[in-house]
Amino acid sequence: MTRARLAVVAGAALAAAAGCGSKSNAPPSVSFRLPSAMAVFHGKTVSNADSIRVYLAVANEGRDDLTLVDATNDVVLPSSVLLRPLAVPFPNRPALLASASLGDGGADVLVGVSAGSSVLQLIQTWVPANTVDADAVTGQAVDLGADVLRIVAMPPDLGEPAKTARLAVVLAGSKLAIVRYRRGGDDVRIEKDTTFGTNGVLVHGLGFEPADLAVVPGDGAHVYAATLDPVGSPAVQGVAEVDVAAPAEPWPVRGLDARAPTRLVAGAVLQERRNDLPVPDDLGAIEPGPGAFTGQPVVKRVYAVLDEASCGVQGRIDCGVVTLDPDKTPGPGDDNIPEDWAGWMPYRAPIAVRGRPLALAVSGPPAVAPTDWTFGTAFMRLVLGTTQTVATTAVGIVASENGTIDFLDLGRFKNASTTFAPVQAFTSAAPPKEGNRIWIEDPATGAGATSTEAAASLIHITPGYALDESWTVSFQPALPGLQNRAAEMGMFVAPDQPWLAIQFGDGTPGDAGRTLSQVARLYHPALGVRVGDIVTFKVDSLKLHGVQCEGLAPPGTPTDLVDSVPHEFETEIAQLLAPDPVLPPSSMSARPGGAVVLKLRTKGPDELEPGAAPGDADPPEWRACWDALLAALSSQGSLKGLQVTVNAGRLLLVGARVGYAGRAELKTEYVLRYKADRADPRDNGLPDYAYQDEDALAALCPLADWDGSLPMPAALDCGGAGCDRDVCERLILARKARRRYHLSEDCHADTTCQAKYAGLTFPIVNDAVLRFTVLHEALTTAPIQGLIRDLTLPISTGSGVVQLAVSAGGPTTQANGAITFDRSTSDPTSGYRFYVSYPGNQIADVSPSLNPVASNTIR
Amino acid sequence: MRRLFCVALLAGAACSEVSRVEPGSTDTFYKPTGIGVYAGKLVVASSNADLLFDSATGGSVITVDPAVPRPDPTKVGLVGGLLIQSFAAQMAIADPNDPRGAEFQCDIPAPIALVPVRGADLLYRITLGPGGVPSCGDGCVIDLSGHAVADPYSVGVACGGGIARLYVGYLRSFAGVATITQIDLLKNGEMKSNVFGIGQMRSFAYDSAHKRLYAAQAGGIHWVDLSEDCDFEAADTSGGCHGGVMAIPSGLEAHAIALSRPRSEVPTPPRRLYVLARVFDAQAAAAVGIRFGDVDGYLLVMDLAEDLAGQAQVHLVKPPIRVGFGPIAMALLPGRAGKRDVVAALTVDDPALLLFDDDNDASVVIGRDIVSTPSHVATGHPWLGTQTFGLAVDPVATGGVARVYVGSFQESYVTPIDVPLDDIEGTAVPPAAGFARIMGGTP
């Protein structure tokens, strides 16, 4: 060995020795492997064998072990070789973890479950080795007889013996178990409480399938389950409250009506903010400090993420995080959602979320207040940005599919917004560049707005209702979802009327019992199809069926492309038809989505060019196609595979998120508002229904709640009359004009803001989502032309809500769990924390109690 | 340049060293990739993926009868075998008497096994004779080249209701488009192709009642309605087939799909689409423009529905079920009256089989040998092989017990697993019960 090589070897040995002997502060890399579950527990570990401390246990499903992290500082516990993290072996893909305190200051009970297992394995938190007891026969593991799907720790209950802890466990097969543990005779170890149920377990059937499970702090008698199933009697959609304190099977189940099924659930006990308007010396609802909660009762609340398949702008409730009041006994037709604080809607709107939530967690105030926090432990600090801080009573997080973690100010039942001033909602309008345009009218002059800024100021919105939305006001655009669709036609006889249905399938159009696909529910008011709308046919698809005609190029086609683009011809909807009744033995009607009766269309006067001949309104090419179409229907009986688009008859307002948003008219103010007017409608010449909220309208138009399933339930067609289409339209639009955000702000001293919203008293500002007037005008250098199809005015609106959020670094796709942890007892400054786990081998530790928002990624 | 030349020389030498001229085996599996079950017999396509045997004749399709034991525990009764080109891919079986019912029965004279072959760009249409004896007669080899695509891999069958069609997807194509080739068995093998977005078309499912084809690829789940005798490759306005695409949640990429069996209850519950998806870092993919690496694998349970405009859509009805790294194949076990399906999902990177009962959410995972018992020392080896490729289910359950087969590419065996349909937890899982491993057959 050369001297040089000897030196290298000696150096390496020295370095190794130094590594072995030193207490390096550099923590080992955590190297999670498919973290699947988390739980915070108090116990002993090899790192602190003599004292009970608090740790975060993380189940590594991909490595069959648990990683332990010091929950006071997020430092992973090292193994004896220091270079690797401590791994507690847990065989067969640990998938679930849960912990619970026995209330005596000793080690907590910590259980884990392998994927697809029915056994609750007990992790020995009271001994430093943290051995996993998987023996359900002679050990302290518990075999529940069916796969464990979810676990939640029950709050202590007054009736429970001291030094015990209970876990609520969802089992495969729609069952729920309560498992009780107790401190052992040596006052150290933990064991199954064999005095409880059968060997420490009670298992009862539920009759529904829980999707998630939660408890409300302080309520040891109830478990709350999110579910897609109807629950309770009478059955409602929402959250199931299971009374696990009841002595006999089955445990009573009460449905908390959330107006839609739910997927995720959490619970809290808190004060909610006041609703009072500001008065001198009392800011009331808009007080950022504890004053907003003065005099408010402490209430139980259950928060649930609504199932996106059922909620939404066309559903009985929009999507988001709904607040439920378990102590509310709803009357007939009512639900368990607290009332709308502003008295406008029949229920409090859910808290809007930006992505599809995958995990939900709620924290109350920390046990120990930060040293610089003057409002005690009844309130918690919520930092909304570098300069804004509020006091609140509970904070929630939603980890979404888009990788972000959004914070919710649950004391104010709203999004935590970094601006703290959503009254800064905004509008804009992009000026179209065509020679002619649809443009915002200035009511003061009757002419078009003179600039984009002026146009934006003439588009009225209301904070709290204003959406982050891209709107279009277009002339005769395709109705959403009804562009280039396959349709079939036939003829009614006596009187002869050509009908058209948008549907696709083998067999003869008009025959019942066919298996159909792509059925447009034309009769559903949410699609917005009206008499007077246009059905445009692609002539090429007619020719395939022997309908020989040429049609015309689409309106607005450049001259040099007229011969090359697919030609069309246009018809007009003369009548809207309900789905045919189902006549047994057939199980499906001929036109299960409804149909329209067509007539040849004549252009309106403002579609014609100035100086056009009278005959131009009725192009001979269209008539030729119409005649050929009728002839084909007469000879063939029916046609199918026709390519059609349903266009609005005139102006149409569409939102990228809300879809169909009603019909505007030139030089007439268009208002999209929850209720037509706050005044007595009769004073304004409006019908009575204009004054009604969505539930009252829904009672008059059950058709609007047709979920699209085929055949349409006969009870929904309102006796064949299809309800009052005007009422249905009003209901559809009211649902799109709901409150989106819960204001707790005003204009402060901002005079521009005050001028912009003159007449409104914040925070209760029940007014329009969107209000504007448009006109058709020529740009200064261009002559006025006929209105051209798809001439469009784009409008953008912003809610002013800038969601307080963090995004952990690294792969934040598909968050798979969120828990809360109060670190204040060891570090008052750190306050309350949220842990969010991701399959991309990392865990985010975040807290909005710090400025800036704390976000630490453990990986 | 000199260095490049040397590399080329070395490569050439290496190739000439490993190339063999011997044909593959007709009784022993070698690098199996596709498996199927016909009349209780196991049909296995071997790929010869490392070219141990001759490229043109190194692959094979072998039928064995697992019910006939042989003294060698790795062998069962041999029914027949034939040689095919190397680089076989998935396998599908089309059966005029499919025991699953009319919805699956093809109007063809005899059962066939379909095996795409990568490289040579072929589709083998192998007739299964009495007892499943494979044979390759006239029209057996279908040339798939010439569609600006290469490496046919996935294959699906659409039968019932007067339709008998095959669908083939590809791993490579011009400009990376996802192409499907349709072969109409009732129109003398008429072949038509169409493009459905970007990426590889990986899996097919067919709804016979609605004549709707579902196809999974990176961009989502495409659906095409095949009714009205539409032209698969024509434009909508020219008599083409209508369809669309259903997005799946962000960060997920579908690799296998299966359609739930129709239910007879009234009102009829919606059919479900089971989707086996790889989880990737969507934010990173959006930032760099390409998707790299997986972080997990999920089984998604989704209800199929139509929106008010009549467009197909899916709704997640259960939280994603974790399956592990490298989801690759999925199959449904035989149906049970009045109950939802049992799903078998296979992963390759972390080799495991997940059995999931959609009726009661019970699940079983057969993964690695990691639990030691007094009579067994854990080895850490995957129970089903180190590279699990190929998954098939016998469509007939015997005495309420279904038979699932899982292929191991690396070790060249197929593992049969018996699953009690009403109690999947009762599946015999090693080490409590040892697995047989079938490596081929003897007469």
Phi then psi for B368, rounded to 5 degrees? Answer: -110, 160
With a cut of 50, say whether residue B87 has pLDDT above it. Answer: yes
CA distance B134 to B348: 28
The pLDDT-based confidence of A753 (bands split at 50, 70, 90) is confident
Q: Do B295 and A92 touch (CB under 8 A)?
A: no
Top pLDDT among A792 and A157 is at A792
List, in sequence order, the alpha helices (H) in A570-642: 620-636
Calculate the average pLDDT of chain A: 90
Q: Choose from B347, B350, B361, B371 for mutation: most chain A CBs within 10 A.
A: B361
Q: Do B228 and A505 touch (CB under 8 A)?
A: yes
List, in sequence order, the alpha helices (H) in B217-346: 282-288
Closest approach of B363 to chain A, Cα-based (Å): 5
Per-residue model confidence (pLDDT) at position B10? 38
The pLDDT-based confidence of A431 (bands split at 50, 70, 90) is low
With a cut of 70, say whether residue B68 has pLDDT above it. Answer: yes
Q: Which residue of B has its CA nearest to A708?
A: B308
Q: Hey, which residues 413-432 in chain B have their CB within 8 Å of chain A?
A: 425
Q: Which residues of A touch B262 (CB under 8 A)?
A: none
Residues B129-139: what's their mean pLDDT? Answer: 93
With a cut of 80, say whether residue A149 has pLDDT above it. Answer: yes
CB pairs under 8 A between A and B: 184
**DSSP codes joined into one string, B292-341:** ---SEEEEEEEEEEE-TTS-EEEEE-SPPEE--S-EEEEEEPPP-TTS--
Per-residue model confidence (pLDDT) at position A584? 80
With a cut of 60, say whether residue A493 has pLDDT above it. Answer: yes
With a cut of 50, say whether residue A823 has pLDDT above it. Answer: yes
With a cut of 50, say whether residue B16 has pLDDT above it. Answer: no
- The listed range with the strongest mean pLDDT (A780-794, B22-36, B247-261) is B22-36
Residue type for A837, please?
S
CA distance B374 to A859: 36
CA distance B227 to B239: 11
CA distance A646 to A477: 8
pLDDT one-digit tens code per residue, A617-653:
999 999 999 999 999 999 999 999 999 999 999 999 9
With a cut of 80, say whether residue A177 has pLDDT above it. Answer: yes
Q: Count Cβ neighbours within 10 Å for each residue of B177-210 and write b for 16 or more, e otherwise.
A: bbbbbbbbbeeeeebbbbbbbebbbbbbbbbbeb
The pLDDT-based confidence of A82 (bands split at 50, 70, 90) is low
With a cut of 90, say whether residue B67 has pLDDT above it. Answer: yes
Q: Do B228 and A643 touch (CB under 8 A)?
A: no
Other residues' Cβ atoms within 10 Å of the Cβ of residue A791? 22
List, in sequence order, the alpha helices (H) in A668-798: 694-700, 725-736, 751-756
With a cut of 60, say whether residue B13 has pLDDT above it. Answer: no
Q: Which residue of B has its CA nearest to A523?
A: B308
Residues B178-182: what's their mean pLDDT? Answer: 94
Q: Which residues of B touch A355 (CB under 8 A)?
A: 250
Q: Mean pLDDT check: name the lowest of A244-248, A769-773, B26-30, B92-96.
A: A244-248
Q: What is the ipTM of this complex?
A: 0.90
Q: Mean pLDDT check: name the lowest of A284-288, A497-501, A674-678, B307-311.
A: A674-678
**B153 inside 8 A of chain A by CB:** no
Per-residue model confidence (pLDDT) at position B73? 92
Residues A359-383: what's their mean pLDDT? Answer: 94
Q: Choose from A135, A151, A517 for mutation: most chain B CBs within 10 A.
A: A517
Measured torsion, CA atoms of residues B360, B366, B370, B375, in degrees rounded to the nearest 10: 100
pLDDT one-digit tens code per residue, A21-30:
333 444 557 7
With a cut of 80, say whether residue B14 has pLDDT above it. Answer: no
Residues A578-603: what's their mean pLDDT? Answer: 91
Per-residue model confidence (pLDDT) at position A434? 64
The pLDDT-based confidence of A420 (bands split at 50, 70, 90) is low
User: Quick check: B114 and B124 in contact, CB under 8 A?
Assistant: yes
CB-nearest to A540 from B228, B238, B317 is B238
CB-nearest to B250 from A402, A480, A518 is A402
Q: Which residue of A has its CA nearest to B249?
A: A401
With a cut of 90, say whether residue B219 has pLDDT above it. Answer: no
